[in-house]
């Protein structure tokens, strides 16, 4: 991506520079928020995966198959939602990182 630059008169250049600095600060504050959410999703996915493994084992050992089946279905849906959100966050991070790199 080509870096953004000011075009025009000196007073416009100062305004443009101020806008770019403000945009850079905003991006610098958003990126860590997305990273934190991504880490939280990763920890939640680990907990759900562990829970699903224990539930599957319990189901195979003959514990209340209906209850375990319902729990596994809920965990599957939650894992799918977690994965979809994580993919979206990765796309956001990529976009914002490229945008930030293009600022002066």
pLDDT, tens digit (0-9, with 9 covering 90-100), for 75-86 = 999 999 999 999
Q: Residue ranges of the alpha helices (H) in the chain?
A: 10-60, 65-101
Domain count, the chain: 1
The stretches in the chain having pLDDT less than 70 are 1-10
Residue 51 is assigned to a structural domain of this protein: yes
Is residue 2 one of the residues assigned to a domain? no
Q: Write down the pLDDT at residue 55.
A: 86
State the pLDDT at residue 100. Answer: 95
pLDDT for the residue 70: 87
47 domain residue, yes or no: yes
Q: Residue 32 is part of which domain span? A: 17-101
In a domain, 90, yes or no: yes
Residue 65 within a domain:
yes
In our burial notation (b when 16+ CB lie closer than 10 A, e otherwise), range 72-103 reads: beebeebbeebeeebeeeeeeeeebeeeeeee
Residue 56 within any structural domain of the chain: yes
Tell me if 1 is assigned to some domain. Answer: no
Model confidence, pTM: 0.76
């Amino acid at each position: 991506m080509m870096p953004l630059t000011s075009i025009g008169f000196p007073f416009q250049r100062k305004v443009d520079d101020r806008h770019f600095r403000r945009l850079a600060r905003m991006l610098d504050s958003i990126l860590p928020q997305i990273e934190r959410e991504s880490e939280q999703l990763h920890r939640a996915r680990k907990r759900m995966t562990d829970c699903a493994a224990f539930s599957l084992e319990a189901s195979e050992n003959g514990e209340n198959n209906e209850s375990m089946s319902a729990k596994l279905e809920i965990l599957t849906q939650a894992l799918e939602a977690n994965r979809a959100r994580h993919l979206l966050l990765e796309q956001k991070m990529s976009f914002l990182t490229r945008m930030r790199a293009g600022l002066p």
